[in-house]
Amino acid sequence: GAGVSQSPSNKVTEKGKDVELRCDPISGHTALYWYRQRLGQGLEFLIYFQGNSAPDKSGLPSDRFSAERTGESVSTLTIQRTQQEDSAVYLCASSPRTSGGAVYEQYFGPGTRLTVT
Amino acid sequence: AQTVTQSQPEMSVQEAETVTLSCTYDTSESDYYLFWYKQPPSRQMILVIRQEAYKQQNATENRFSVNFQKAAKSFSLKISDSQLGDAAMYFCAYRSQGGAQKLVFGQGTRLTINP
C-alpha cells in the first residue's frame, strides 16, 4: 500500500516568509509525528498527534511553529516568519496507534528539505 | 530527559567484513525500547532492528544483530557480511514505553562500505 507522503519535496523560501509543509499519513494510522533533522544531525521531535486527543507540542522550538491535523488524515506544519536556522529536513511519521504495552513501528515519509535564504 | 549518544561520526568497513556501531543512552526508566534506523541518501528512514528493554535476549534480523547491555546502557549494532547497499547513516533511537512514544535519536554514524 501507499506509504507516508510529504510535499513539497524541497522548498526554498526567503527569510521572514511563512511556509506550510504537508504530510499524508498511511491510511488508518491514528498517530502522527513531526521531526526536524538539521544538516548532519539526528532527528528532533517536534509534535505528536493521536486521534482526537490534544497534541503533544513539547518539541516545538518556538511559537513560530505550529501544526494541525484534521481527524486522522493529513497534517500541516506551519513555520511563520522563517529564519535561516529553520533550514532543515522536516520528516513526518505515522503509526497505527500508540499503546503503553505494545510496540508500533513509526513509518517515515521522505521528508521536506527547507532552505531559508 | 532521555539522551542518546553515538560516539562514532563515521565508520568504514570492507565489503563482506563485520562492523559494529556504538550507541549509549541515558534514562531513569526501566521499561523502554531501542531501535536502529538506516537513512540512505534518499532520506527515507528505514527500521533495521528493535529491542525491548525487558528482553534479555539480543535481537537479530538476518545480518543485523545487537548487543544490548541494560546495566551499562549500551546498545551496539553489528552488521555481518557487509554489503554495498548497507552504506548509509545509521541512527540509534530510544522510545519510552508510555506517553507519546516519541523517538529520541542519536547524532548518527555514517557507514561507508569499501569494495
Question: Which residues from chain B sit within 8 angstroms of residue A33, using beta carbons?
Answer: 102-103
pLDDT score, position B114: 96
Q: Are A28 and A9 in contact (CB under 8 A)?
A: no
Query: Which of B43, B61, B92 should be substituted to probe chain A, the one whose Cβ sees the most A Cβ atoms within 10 Å?
Result: B43
pLDDT given at position B109:
97
- Does B41 touch chain A if contact means CB atoms closer than 8 Å? no
B44, A101: Cβ pair inside 8 Å?
no
Return d(Cα B16, Cα B6) in angstroms, integer: 24
List chain A residues with CB under 8 Å of B98.
100
Chain B residue with minimal CA distance to A55?
A: B100
Q: Is A41 on the interface with B (CB under 8 A)?
A: yes
Helix or strand run (H / E) with residue A7: strand A5-7
Distance CA A60, CA A67 (A): 9
Confidence of residue B1 (pLDDT cuts 50, 70, 90): confident
Cα separation, A88 vs A11, in Å, equals 10
| B29 touches A at CB < 8 Å | no
Name every chain A residue with its beta carbon within 8 A of the beta carbon of B91.
Answer: 42-43
Q: Are B92 and B66 in contact (CB under 8 A)?
A: no
Q: Distance from A18 to chain B by nearest Cα, in Å?
A: 24
Rounded distance, CA A86 to CA A114, Å?
Answer: 8
Residue of A nearest to B53 (CA): A103
Is A47 in contact with A54 (CB distance < 8 Å)?
no
CB contact under 8 A, A45 and B107: no
Nearest CA in chain B to A99: B98
d(CA B49, CA B80): 14
Give the residue, A99 or B9, on which the prediction is more confident: B9
Express each pLDDT in B34-72 by its tens digit: 999 999 988 889 999 999 999 889 999 999 999 999 999
Q: How far apart are CA B55 and CA B5, in angstroms?
A: 22
| Residue spans of chain A under pLDDT 70 | 1, 97-103
The three-class DSSP label of residue A85 is helix
